[in-house]
C-alpha cells in the first residue's frame, strides 16, 4: 500500500469519525456488550394498563448469543464471562418470572437456559482469579449481581468470594449515597445498576445528560427501572443507541455511548504521532475536531471526560491536550496537573483504587508535547519514574493495564514516551531532567525492542490470536524504538521485523482488524481505533524502513572502504538471516526484497511466504566478527576509558567548598525570619515553606560569593571572603553551581509557575547587580531614582521571590508586592547607611567598605548630588581607598552635606508607608501580623 492510498484511507477514517460530531448524542464505535444488553433487556414500561418489556430485541440478542455451555462470551478476560453471564442470567430469570409479551421462547426452554447459565456461572466463579482482575468497577458490579441473583433464589459460593467481598468493602467504605445526590459527579454514576436498593434514584436525576447517566446504557437502564417517574428522554437515548451504536439495530448495546472525546482524541493522536499531515489530508475534519476539543476544554476549565458532560479524567484530558498541541494549538496542561497529580503518580479520576499505567503514560506524552516541556520537568520525571518502576516490577516487562489488555499497547505507549524524552534531551529542551533517569528509560527501550522482535509470530503478526491491532501496536513500538540511534537491535533485524509485520497488515483494512482489547465494564473492540493503529503502523513503517535502509547502506559502504584499505574486501555475501533468507550485499547494493525500500502488499506477501519463520534468538552473526580489526582487549580498554565514572560526594564537596565555608559563618538570618513572618498570613504547608527557605538561603549565599568577587571585598561576616581562600575561579563556579542546585529544589514545589518566578527573579537580580557594577566601573553617579530602581531589581527581587514562591502553596491571593518592595528599599538603604556609620560593620566588613569598593550607595549618591560642583567625594570614591583617614574624611564630607540626616528622614518615611501597607493588608481579612511588624522594626538605622 503506497503513501497515497494510506492518506486516502486516513481521510475516509477522519470523515467517518467527524461526520456525527455535531449530532445530539455524539458518536461511538464500541462493540456491543452482552452485559449492558442484558440490563437494557430488563427495562419494563407500562403502556395504559399493559406492562411490557420495552426492548425485546435486546433479550432476543441474549438468547441468540448464549453459548452451548450455558455462559456468554468471555471476550478477553475472566471477568468478561462472569459479568456477561451473571447479568444475562438475571435477565433470563426476570423474563421467566414475568414473560409478558415474550412468546417466542417457551417457559421450558427458558428454564433450561437458566439452569445451564447457573451451572456455567458457578464454573466461572470457581475458577476466577480475583486478585489479578483489573477491570474498573468489577468489585462493585459482581457482588451487586450476586446479590440480585440471591434475591431470585440463585446463590453462589466460590473460593474467591471472601476476597471479592473484602475488596468491595474497601471500595464502598469510601462511598456514600449522599455523593450521588450532590451536584458533583462521581464515576459511580457510570454504574448505577450496582446501587439498586442502596440509593434513592429520584434524587440523582439531576445528573442526567442528553438522556443518559454518564453515557452508560446499563446505568440509564437502572434509572428507568427504579425511578418513580418515567423519563422519556432516557428511553429515547437507549433507542438511539440501539440504532446508531455499533450494534446497528441487532439488539446489541455497548458499555458506553457516546464516547466522542475518547474516539476523537485516540484516533487523531495515533495518526498524528505517525506523521500523517492531517491538516493537509482533511482540513475540514481537523478544524472540526480542533474546535470541538478546544470548546470542551474551555467549558470544563481545562479538563475533559470521555464524553461531554461526564466527570473529567486524566486519560481523556491528556489525549485532548496532546492532539491540540500536535496540531500547533498551544494548550496548557496546568488544569490537568491540578486535578489529577498525586505525590507519586497521576490518578485517572477521584477515588481510583489502583493507578493506571496507560493514563500515566498519556499524561507524560501530553506534557512532553506542550510548548515548553522544561517547565513541567518535575511532573515529567514523576510520571516517567512511576512508569519505569511499573515496567520493572512486571514479569517479563508485560504490564497489565486497566484500559487495554495487550502488553504490546503498553510497550507502544512507553516507547513513544521514551523516544520523545530522548529527542527533547538531545535538543536540550529538558535540561533539568536527571541523566540517570534518561539512561534507565533508554535501557528499558532496548529491552522492549528485543522482546517485541522475539515475540513476533511466524506469519509476521504479534499476539496469541494474531490480531492486526496488536500487530500494529508492535510495529509502532519498533518504529519509535528506531528513533533512538543507539538502539541495540541490529538494523536488519529491526527492519525485517517491521516489514514482516507490515506484510501481515496489508490485507483489507476494513475487515478483521479489531479485537477485544479495550476495557470498559467488560472488554470491547473498536473498529475505528483498530483502523487508526493499522494505518499509523503502515505509515510509520515507511519512514523507518527507508531510514534504516540508508543507515544499512552507509554502514556497509563505510566498512567496505575501511577493509579495502587493508587490501581485503569482506562483505556479508551469502549471510543467512534468522528467517533463513539469503541477503546478498555487494558494494552497498542489495538484492534482498525485505531490505530494500518500502514494500508493496504483493511484495510483502511474497516475502512472508519466503520467510515463514521468525526465530530472533538464533541466527548467524559471525560475519560481524570480521568487521573489526581491534582485539577484545583493545576494545575493552577503549570502552573503559570512555565510560563515565559516577559523581561522588567527594566531588560535590569540592564544588561546594566556598559555598559551605560562607554558609558556616553566622549571618543575620533575616530572610528566614522574613519568610516565617509572611507565612503567618499565607499558611503555606511546612514542607513547602522548608523548600522555599532552602532556595532563598542558597540563592542569598551564592550571590554573596559572586558579589564579594565583583566588589573585591576583603571581609564577609568578619572573616576573610571565600575567594581569598579558594581562589576567584573556584568561588565563582561554586556560586553559579548553587544557582542551579536551587533551581533543582524549585522543581520539588511541583508547580511550573515556580520555575517562571525563579527565572524572572534571577534575571532581575542580575540586572540590578549589572547596573550597580556598571556605575562603579564607569564612575557614573546615578540619580536617587535610578538607584532605587536598581534596588528593586537587586534586593527587592529576592524578597519578592521568597514570598511569591511561598504564595504558590497558599490559598491567599492578596498582593504583597508593594509591601515587599518597600521592605527591600528599607533594607538596602539601612545597609548602605550602616556601612558608613556602624561600628559593628567595622568588625564584620571593615571600615566604610562601600568606599573601598568604589560603590555608589544611596548616601554617597545623595552627598555627591547635594553639591555637584564639589568633586571631593567622587574623587575619593574613584581611588577606592584603603586608607582609613581618607575614608573618615569622606564620611565627614557627607556629614557636611547633611546626608545622614536626609537618610534618617527618608527611611522614617519609608517605614511609615510600610506600616500603613501592613495595616491595609490586615484589614483585608488577613489578620494582625506582629511578626511582620517586628521584621520592619529590625530594619533600622540603629547600630546593633
Separation in Å, CA 276 to CA 324, 413, 531: 15, 18, 14
**Same domain (yes/no): 223, 311:** no
**Three-state SS sequence of 761-807:** HHHHHHHHHHHHHHHHHHCCCCCHHHHHHHHHHHCHHHHHHHHHHHH
| Rounded Cα–Cα distance for residues 816 and 675 (Å) | 12
Q: What are the beta bridge partners of residue 33?
A: 253
Classify residue 20: in a domain, yes or no.
Answer: no
**Same domain (yes/no): 193, 282:** no
E strands present in 480-534: 518-519, 523-524
Whether residue 75 contacts residue 524, with contact meaning beta carbons closer than 8 Å, is answered with: yes
Residue 403 grid cell = 484500559
pTM for the full model?
0.61
Who wins on pLDDT, 715 or 608? 715
Number of folded domains in the chain? 3
Distance of CA 782 to the CA centre of its chain: 49
DSSP string, 160-185: THHHHHHHHHHHHTT--HHHHHSSS-
Classify residue 601: in a domain, yes or no.
Answer: no
Specify the pLDDT at position 592: 33
Task: Tell me the pLDDT tens digit for each residue of 256-292.
Answer: 999 999 999 999 999 999 999 999 999 999 999 999 9
| pLDDT of 561 over the 60 cut | no
Task: Tell me the pLDDT tens digit for each residue of 500-516.
Answer: 999 999 864 444 456 89
Q: What are the beta bridge partners of residue 236?
A: none
Classify residue 578: in a domain, yes or no.
Answer: no
Among 511, 542, 559, which residue terminates a domain? 559
DSSP string, 333-382: -HHHHHHHB-SSSB-SSTT-SS--HHHHHHHHHHHHTSS-GGGGHHHHHH
Task: Tell me the pLDDT tens digit for each residue of 723-758.
Answer: 999 999 999 999 999 999 999 999 889 888 899 999
**Same domain (yes/no): 180, 319:** no
Supply the range of the domain harboring residue 109: 31-244
Q: What are the beta bridge partners of residue 523?
A: 519
**Same domain (yes/no): 732, 861:** yes
Q: Over pLDDT 90: what percentage of the chain?
A: 63
Specify the pLDDT at position 13: 94
DSSP 8-state code for residue 585: E
Specify the pLDDT at position 618: 36
Mean per-residue pLDDT for 518-542?
93
Mean per-residue pLDDT for 399-425?
91
Specify the pLDDT at position 593: 33
Classify residue 111: in a domain, yes or no.
Answer: yes
Whether residue 384 contacts residue 441, with contact meaning beta carbons closer than 8 Å, is answered with: yes
CATH of the domain at 317: 1.50.10.20
Classify residue 598: in a domain, yes or no.
Answer: no
**Same domain (yes/no): 295, 217:** no
Of 467, 549, 545, give the one whose Cα is nearest residue 505: 467
Of 406, 341, 395, 348, give the one whose Cα is nearest residue 137: 348
| pLDDT of 571 over the 60 cut | no
**Same domain (yes/no): 369, 409:** yes
Specify the pLDDT at position 844: 58
Classify residue 3: in a domain, yes or no.
Answer: no
Residue 619 grid cell = 541466527
Helix pair angle (817-837, 858-866), 10° resolution:
70
Who wins on pLDDT, 600 or 546? 546
**Same domain (yes/no): 359, 217:** no
| Rounded Cα–Cα distance for residues 419 and 424 (Å) | 9
pLDDT band at 234 (very low <50, low <70, confident <90, very high): very high
Specify the pLDDT at position 589: 32
**Same domain (yes/no): 235, 298:** no
Task: Tell me the pLDDT tens digit for each residue of 294-331.
Answer: 999 999 899 999 999 898 999 999 999 999 999 999 99
**Same domain (yes/no): 434, 496:** yes
Classify residue 190: in a domain, yes or no.
Answer: yes
Residue 221's CB is within 10 A of a number of other CB atoms, namely 28
CATH of the domain at 47: 1.50.10.160
Specify the pLDDT at position 611: 42
DSSP 8-state code for residue 575: E
Q: What is the mean pLDDT of the chain?
A: 85
**Same domain (yes/no): 229, 265:** no
Whether residue 447 contacts residue 454, with contact meaning beta carbons closer than 8 Å, is answered with: no
**Same domain (yes/no): 530, 401:** yes
| pLDDT of 366 over the 90 cut | yes
Name the range with the highest mean pLDDT among 227-241, 489-503, 595-609, 884-898. Answer: 227-241
CATH of the domain at 895: 1.10.600.10
Among 527, 559, 591, which residue terminates a domain? 559
**Same domain (yes/no): 238, 336:** no
Specify the pLDDT at position 581: 34
| Rounded Cα–Cα distance for residues 138 and 150 (Å) | 18
pLDDT band at 388 (very low <50, low <70, confident <90, very high): very high
Classify residue 631: in a domain, yes or no.
Answer: no
Angle at CA 390, nearest 5°, toward 386 and 396? 155
Residue 918 grid cell = 501592613
Separation in Å, CA 78 to CA 81, 120, 123, 233, 815: 6, 12, 11, 35, 58
Whether residue 881 contacts residue 851, with contact meaning beta carbons closer than 8 Å, is answered with: yes
Among 209, 244, 279, which residue terminates a domain? 244
C-alpha distance across the termini of the chain, in Å = 85
Amino acid at each position: 500500500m503506497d503513501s497515497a492510498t494510506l492518506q486516502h484511507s486516513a481521510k475516509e477514517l477522519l470523515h467517518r469519525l467527524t461526520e456525527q460530531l455535531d449530532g445530539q448524542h455524539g458518536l461511538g464505535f464500541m462493540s456491543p456488550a452482552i452485559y449492558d444488553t442484558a440490563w437494557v433487556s430488563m427495562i419494563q414500561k407500562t403502556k395504559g394498563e399493559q406492562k411490557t418489556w420495552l426492548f425485546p430485541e435486546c433479550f432476543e440478542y441474549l438468547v441468540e448469543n448464549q453459548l452451548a455451555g450455558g455462559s456468554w462470551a468471555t471476550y478477553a478476560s475472566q471477568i468478561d464471562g462472569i459479568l456477561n453471564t451473571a447479568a444475562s442470567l438475571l435477565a433470563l430469570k426476570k423474563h421467566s418470572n414475568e414473560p409478558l409479551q415474550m412468546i417466542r421462547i417457551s417457559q421450558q426452554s427458558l428454564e433450561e437456559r437458566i439452569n445451564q447459565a447457573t451451572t456455567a456461572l458457578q464454573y466461572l466463579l470457581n475458577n476466577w482469579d480475583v486478585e489479578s482482575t483489573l477491570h474498573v468497577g468489577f468489585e462493585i458490579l459482581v457482588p451487586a449481581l450476586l446479590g440480585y441473583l440471591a434475591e431470585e433464589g440463585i446463590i453462589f459460593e466460590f473460593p474467591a468470594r471472601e476476597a471479592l467481598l473484602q475488596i468491595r468493602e474497601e471500595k464502598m467504605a469510601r462511598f456514600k449515597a449522599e455523593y450521588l445526590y450532590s451536584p458533583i459527579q462521581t464515576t459511580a454514576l457510570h454504574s448505577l445498576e450496582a446501587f439498586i436498593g442502596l440509593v434513592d434514584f429520584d434524587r440523582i436525576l439531576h445528573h442526567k445528560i442528553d438522556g443518559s447517566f454518564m453515557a452508560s446504557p446499563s446505568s440509564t437502564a437502572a434509572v428507568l427501572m427504579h425511578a418513580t417517574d418515567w423519563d422519556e428522554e432516557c428511553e429515547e437515548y437507549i433507542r438511539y443507541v440501539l440504532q446508531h451504536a455499533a450494534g446497528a439495530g441487532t439488539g446489541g448495546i455497548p458499555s458506553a455511548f457516546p464516547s466522542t472525546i475518547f474516539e476523537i482524541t485516540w484516533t487523531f493522536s495515533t495518526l498524528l504521532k505517525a506523521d500523517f499531515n492531517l491538516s493537509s489530508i482533511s482540513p475540514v475534519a481537523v478544524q472540526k475536531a480542533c474546535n470541538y476539543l478546544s470548546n470542551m476544554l474551555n467549558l470544563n476549565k481545562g479538563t475533559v471526560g470521555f464524553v461531554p458532560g461526564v466527570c473529567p479524567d486524566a486519560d481523556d484530558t491528556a489525549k485532548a491536550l496532546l492532539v491540540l498541541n500536535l496540531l500547533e494549538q498551544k494548550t496548557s496542561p496546568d488544569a490537568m496537573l491540578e486535578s489529577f497529580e498525586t505525590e507519586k503518580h497521576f490518578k485517572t479520576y477521584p477515588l481510583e483504587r489502583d493507578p493506571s499505567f496507560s493514563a500515566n503514560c498519556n499524561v507524560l506524552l501530553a506534557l512532553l508535547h506542550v510548548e515548553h516541556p522544561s517547565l513541567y520537568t518535575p511532573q515529567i520525571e514523576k510520571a516517567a519514574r512511576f512508569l519505569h518502576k511499573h515496567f520493572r516490577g512486571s514479569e517479563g516487562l508485560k504490564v497489565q493495564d486497566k484500559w487495554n489488555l495487550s502488553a504490546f499497547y503498553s510497550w507502544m505507549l512507553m516507547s513513544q514516551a521514551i523516544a520523545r524524552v530522548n529527542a527533547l534531551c538531545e535538543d536540550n529542551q529538558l535540561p533539568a531532567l536527571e541523566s540517570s533517569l534518561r539512561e534507565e528509560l533508554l535501557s528499558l527501550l532496548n529491552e522492549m525492542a528485543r522482546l517485541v522482535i522475539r515475540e513476533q509470530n511466524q506469519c509476521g503478526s504479534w499476539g496469541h490470536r494474531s490480531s492486526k491491532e496488536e500487530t500494529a501496536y508492535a510495529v509502532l513500538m519498533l518504529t519509535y524504538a528506531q528513533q533512538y540511534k543507539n538502539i541495540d537491535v541490529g538494523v536488519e533485524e529491526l527492519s525485517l521485523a517491521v516489514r514482516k509485520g507490515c506484510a501481515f497488515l496489508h490485507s483489507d483494512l476494513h475487515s478483521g482488524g479489531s479485537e477485544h482489547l479495550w476495557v470498559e465494564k467488560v472488554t470491547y473492540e473498536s473498529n475505528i481505533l483498530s483502523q487508526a493503529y493499522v494505518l499509523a503502523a503502515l505509515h510509520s513503517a515507511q519512514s523507518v524502513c527507508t531510514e534504516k535502509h540508508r543507515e544499512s547502506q552507509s554502514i556497509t559502504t563505510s566498512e567496505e572502504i575501511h577493509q579495502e584499505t587493508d587490501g581485503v574486501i569482506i562483505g556479508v555475501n551469502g549471510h543467512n538471516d534468522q528467517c533463513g533468507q539469503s541477503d546478498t550485499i555487494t558494494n552497498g547494493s542489495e538484492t534482498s526484497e525485505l531490505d530494500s525500500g518500502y514494500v508493496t502488499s504483493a511484495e510483502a506477501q511474497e516475502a512472508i511466504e519466503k520467510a515463514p519463520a521468525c526465530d530472533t534468538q538464533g541466527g548467524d552473526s559471525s560475519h560481524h566478527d570480521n568487521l573489526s580489526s581491534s582485539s577484545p582487549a583493545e576494545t575493552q580498554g577503549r570502552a573503559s576509558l570512555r565510560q563515565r565514572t559516577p559523581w561522588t560526594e567527594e566531588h560535590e564537596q569540592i564544588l561546594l567548598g566556598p559555598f559551605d565555608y560562607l554558609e558556616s559563618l553566622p549571618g543575620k538570618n533575616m530572610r528566614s525570619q522574613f519568610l516565617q513572618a509572611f507565612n503567618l498570613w499565607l499558611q503555606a504547608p511546612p514542607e513547602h515553606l522548608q523548600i522555599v527557605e532552602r532556595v532563598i538561603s542558597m540563592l542569598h549565599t551564592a550571590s554573596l560569593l559572586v558579589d564579594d568577587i565583583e566588589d573585591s571585598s576583603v571581609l564577609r561576616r568578619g572573616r576573610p571572603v571565600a575567594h581569598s581562600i579558594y581562589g576567584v575561579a573556584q568561588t565563582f563556579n561554586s556560586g553559579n553551581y548553587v544557582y542551579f542546585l536551587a533551581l533543582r529544589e524549585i522543581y520539588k514545589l511541583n508547580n511550573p509557575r515556580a520555575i517562571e518566578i525563579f527565572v524572572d527573579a534571577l534575571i532581575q537580580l542580575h540586572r540590578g547587580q549589572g547596573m550597580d557594577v556598571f556605575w562603579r566601573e564607569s564612575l557614573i553617579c546615578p540619580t536617587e531614582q535610578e538607584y532605587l530602581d536598581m534596588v528593586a531589581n537587586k534586593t527587592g527581587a529576592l524578597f519578592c521571590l521568597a514570598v511569591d514562591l511561598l504564595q504558590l502553596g497558599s490559598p491567599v491571593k492578596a498582593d504583597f508586592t508593594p509591601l515587599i518592595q518597600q521592605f527591600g528599599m528599607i533594607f538596602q538603604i539601612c545597609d548602605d547607611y550602616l556601612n558608613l556609620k556602624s561600628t559593628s560593620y567595622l568588625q564584620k566588613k571593615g571600615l566604610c567598605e562601600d568606599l573601598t569598593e568604589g560603590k555608589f550607595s544611596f548616601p554617597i549618591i545623595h552627598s555627591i548630588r547635594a553639591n555637584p560642583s564639589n568633586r571631593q567625594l567622587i574623587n575619593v570614591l574613584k581611588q577606592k581607598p584603603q586608607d582609613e583617614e581618607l575614608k573618615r574624611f569622606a564620611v565627614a564630607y557627607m556629614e557636611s552635606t547633611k546626608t545622614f540626616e536626609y537618610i534618617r528622614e527618608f527611611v522614617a518615611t519609608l517605614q511609615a508607608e510600610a506600616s500603613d501597607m501592613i495595616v491595609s493588608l490586615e484589614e483585608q481579612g488577613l489578620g494582625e501580623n506582629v511578626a511582620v511588624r517586628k521584621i520592619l522594626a529590625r530594619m533600622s538605622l540603629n547600630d546593633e
